Amino acid sequence: MTDKITVAGVSVDTRHWIGGERVASAGTFTDVSPIDGSVIGEIARGTATEAAAAVAAAKAAFPAWAATSRAERARLLHAVADGVEKRIEELAIVETTDNGSLLRSHRRGVMPRVAHNFRFFADWLLTLEHEDFDTRGHTNHVDWDPAGPSVLITPWNAPLMLSTWKIAPALAAGNTVVLKPAEWTPLTASLLADITAEAGLPAGVLNIVQGYGSEIGDALTSDPDVRRISFTGSVPTAKRISASAAANLTPLSLELGGKSPLLVFADADLDLAVDLAVEQYDNAGQVCLAATRILVEEPIAEEFTRRFTQKAAGIVQGDPRDEATDIGPNIHPRQLEKIDGFVQRAIAAGARAVIGGHRKDGQYYAPTLLTDVAQDSEIVQEEVFGPVLTLQTFTTEDEAVGLANDTRFGLAATVATGDKERAGRVTAQLVAGTVWVNCFFVRDLQAPFGGSRHSGVGREGGNWSFDFYCDLKNTVTAPKGWKDRG
């Protein structure tokens, strides 16, 4: 294999990044663009050998990095952010080529957010403290001690942003990192390795191993030298990771799937509600937080559906590199098969496709809205992760909440209502890690993020990230017992 490939004019190294050096593998895997199915290149395919080497490099680098002052860690993370900002255009076009998300979104929102991830946690580190408190004259002092090497396993739908959402707090906390990016979208992680090296991050502090989770995942998550594991992805994979980590009692943070509801009450601003519903097709439906179950109060259901259909007709689906495109392709033929399987089984069971319900050319799936679906049906209960929404109706507030909570997931929920008191009543009863009222996808890194039930374990963001990536220590000091050294 060649050590480097050129992607949209950008040179990308195809090897792992271990201990501050590029490391090749005997085998490779093929990276394919979802835009047109073209082969991007052959990527180093990690084995348990590379996984062990990465963990060993992280372990060796940990003592010095953990002992590095907060101010110096923060300075280096800001330097990484500077490097990201200098290469936003390169990162944007490479990631669009690799995962098919909109180039305009990568340029204007996603890659700037990558830089912000580093800046936010660097700044938060410098303010991290707990006020000392008294217990019967004794002083309690809380410290956040670095925990150790951390394995981060990240998904393909927003590869670099979601990777750095984990990398930044882990490094800020004083941990060293082994990142395993999704095999369908490995390229921007490789560029990040270059950026961190140029910023002066010491060798071994960040390591990147590419490959298939089935081949290297267990080697990473079962290693006794790993002290934290953070994973974003599917419930079945999370169960395997949890079992693997159990032998070493390695703490886990798991952000998993969702089947989030959008509750639309009759007193809502209907145009706003329709806008919120159509927004759920963003990134071709490949958003874990997407409110894919639309629940509409019966008196307005017909008008809502009419306006929704009209609004959705204006969606432009096509090449994500085109500024006019609203949604691009789905990530992989396997994912497209999964999406279409869900839809066709639902239709066979009696669902009606108001719009869509079919594939388009290549790896594109038509934005779909299904009605006449049963609450216990597969299409309502299981995550599709594509541009597929369902619509159900309700007649009472209690029924709306009951339908909203009636899945095994609890990642997010969205409520559209013009009644502030109702908003308070309903949000108090919803099982979800994040609830939006009359808005969607407003995210602040200082807020806790994660899911309930099968949508995850733990929370990250602000202090919650440091609570996870650190070992918290309370030191209790007596007021007497000191010897006079004078």
Which one, of 313, 292, 245, lies nearest residue 407 by Cα? 292
Residue 439 appears among annotated catalytic residues = no
Using DSSP bridges, classify how beta strands 10-13 and 228-232 pair: parallel, antiparallel or unpaired: unpaired
What are the C-alpha distances in Å from 50 to residues 18, 208, 221, 224, 346?
A: 8, 10, 13, 16, 43
- In the set 255, 297, 383, 460, the catalytic residue is 255
Which one, of 267, 256, 263, lies nearest residue 232 by Cα? 256
Which residues, other chains included, contact 3 with Cβ-Cβ below 8 Å and sequence gap of 6+? 13, 14, 15, 22, 24
Phi (first) and psi of residue 138, to 5 degrees: -95, 145
Residue 11 pairs with which residues in a beta bridge? Answer: 6
- Helix (H) / strand (E) containing 220: helix 213-221
Token pair, residue 98, equals 């690799």
Phi (first) and psi of residue 21, to 5 degrees: -135, 155
152 and 163 Cβ atoms separated by less than 8 Å: yes
Token pair, residue 316, equals 């432009």
Token pair, residue 94, equals 């490479």
Residue 470 appears among annotated catalytic residues = no
- In the set 288, 297, 460, 470, the catalytic residue is 288
Other C-beta atoms lying within 10 Å of the C-beta of residue 475: 10
Which one, of 231, 315, 325, lies nearest residue 281 by Cα? 315
Question: Annotated catalytic sites, by residue?
Answer: 255, 288
